[in-house]
Amino acid sequence: MLRTSRSYPVARVPRRNSLDCGDMKPASASTVSASAGVSPLPAEIDELWVRRGELSPADSTASELVVAAVNKIDSGEARVAWPDPGTAEIVVDERAKRAILLAFRLLPMAESIVGEFRYHDRVPLTSRLDGVRALPGSIVRWGAYIAPGAVLMPSFVNIGAYVDSGTMVDTWATVGSCAQIGKNVHLGGGVGIGGVLEPPNAVPVVVEDEAMVMSRCMVVEGARVRTGAVVGAGTILASSTHVIDVETGEELPRGEVPAWSVCVGGTRQRTFAGGEFGMPCVLVLKRLAEGSKHDKAALNEILRDHGVGT
């Protein structure tokens, strides 16, 4: 049973529209914004949004408004987006999005206790998560450092790992022993950052500042993701993985994703005695201007700007 020291009223009404993946899948890439006149949420949300920089958890009126709005989303009376039955375009209720983002700013931190469950292990859990937003199901072992401002979705961080500030460890991501994760990194859902405990001189996996390692990637065996790199979903990067720049055909250092690049998993042809086969590799598709964020990082920036980092 999940006990929490703070609870919000949740209206128990049937959902007006299902929000399952099928319904949410865009039938068309384009979206239209449609708050005014369409949103069931009050216009005060937009006013709060305009002065969001001044808001804090001490603003009880604002908090109540936002909690009520998010309750409406929770109950299905409002939703963030839906496919327009006529045009198949995705309609976005910006006000609903704003309510969610405002909630990150307005709601105070709250402690949750997961039942009476006791962990038993040789290595205890860390007790140093001050300033870290850690959801139930996030597990950090003693000996791992998580800097204030990091965000842990239900995930696992093993002993010796270092996770710097502003970094999000997304759902079911694992940060293996001794892996080093820089600042403002996003480890996407299900990402596996390999651990290296033995031999003692083995190089751990390093993911440098501002990198984005997308869903279900595996970065293992001392592989390295350089600053600002975007590693596409499902990419496997081990220390011996070939890395090829598709613009030049050049073979880059193995096991390393270049800074400010966008990479995906690919294949390279290789001839064996038994014939020609495709072997996994990493393809460098694009180069990003140094210091720039990939478009797909925009949502992460919004979440961080509005208080996810505690």
Ligand X SMILES: CC(C)(COP(=O)(O)OP(=O)(O)OC[C@H]1O[C@@H](n2cnc3c(N)ncnc32)[C@H](O)[C@@H]1OP(=O)(O)O)[C@@H](O)C(=O)NCCC(=O)NCCS
> In Å, how far from its chain's centre is CA 191?
10
Among the listed residues 57, 234, 253, 278, the single contact to ligand X using CB under 6 A:
234
Residues paired with 169 in a beta bridge = 152, 187
Residue by residue, DSSP assigns 273-309 as TTEEEEEEEEEEEEEPPTT---GGGHHHHHHIIIIIT
Closer residue to ligand X, CB minimum distance, 48 or 134: 134
- In the chain, % helix, strand, coil (3-state, to 5) comes to 20, 25, 55
Q: Are strands 261-272 and 236-237 parallel, antiparallel or unpaired?
A: unpaired
Give exposure, 276-297, as e/b (b: 16+ Cβ within 10 Å).
eeeeebbbbeeebeeeebbeeb
Q: 60-75 and 94-106 helices cross at what angle (nearest 10)?
A: 130
Among the listed residues 232, 258, 307, 309, the single contact to ligand X using CB under 6 A:
232
Closer residue to ligand X, CB minimum distance, 160 or 188: 188
Query: Which parts of the chain fold into alpha helices (H)?
Result: 21-24, 44-50, 60-75, 94-106, 298-303
118 to 147: interface string for ligand X, x by CB under 6 A = ------------------------------
Closer residue to ligand X, CB minimum distance, 129 or 233: 233
Q: Which two tokens stand for residue 275?
A: 């014939």
Closer residue to ligand X, CB minimum distance, 52 or 216: 216
What's the alpha-carbon Rg for the chain, to the nearest Å? 22
Q: Report the alpha-carbon distance of residue 114 to residue 297 in Å, rounded.
A: 32
Closer residue to ligand X, CB minimum distance, 4 or 267: 267
Q: Which stretch binds ligand X (CB under 6 A): 46-54, 107-115, 123-131, 262-270?
A: 262-270
Among the listed residues 166, 182, 188, 255, the single contact to ligand X using CB under 6 A:
188
For 141, residues 6+ apart whose C-beta sits below 8 A from its C-beta are: 121, 123, 124, 125, 126, 157, 158, 159
Q: According to the binding rule CB under 6 A, does residue 230 interact with ligand X? A: yes
Q: According to the binding rule CB under 6 A, does residue 170 interact with ligand X? A: yes
Closest CA to 86 of 16, 6, 18, 32: 32
Q: Which residue has the tokens 């929490």?
A: 4
Q: According to the binding rule CB under 6 A, does residue 296 interact with ligand X? A: yes
Instruction: Work out how close the CB of 234 gets to ligand X at its nearest, in angstroms, rounded to a whole number.
Output: 5
Instruction: Work out how close the CB of 197 gets to ligand X at its nearest, in angstroms, rounded to a whole number.
Output: 27
Q: According to the binding rule CB under 6 A, does residue 258 interact with ligand X? A: no
Q: Which residue has the closest beta carbon to ligand X? A: 232
Q: Which stretch binds ligand X (CB under 6 A): 15-23, 35-43, 203-211, 258-266?
A: 258-266
Closer residue to ligand X, CB minimum distance, 48 or 208: 208
Q: According to the binding rule CB under 6 A, does residue 285 interact with ligand X? A: yes
Q: Which stretch binds ligand X (CB under 6 A): 56-64, 136-144, 201-209, 227-235?
A: 227-235
Instruction: Work out how close the CB of 19 gets to ligand X at its nearest, in angstroms, rounded to a whole number.
Output: 17
Q: Which residues here bind ligand X, judged by CB under 6 A?
A: 170, 188-189, 214-215, 230, 232-234, 262, 264-265, 285-286, 294, 296
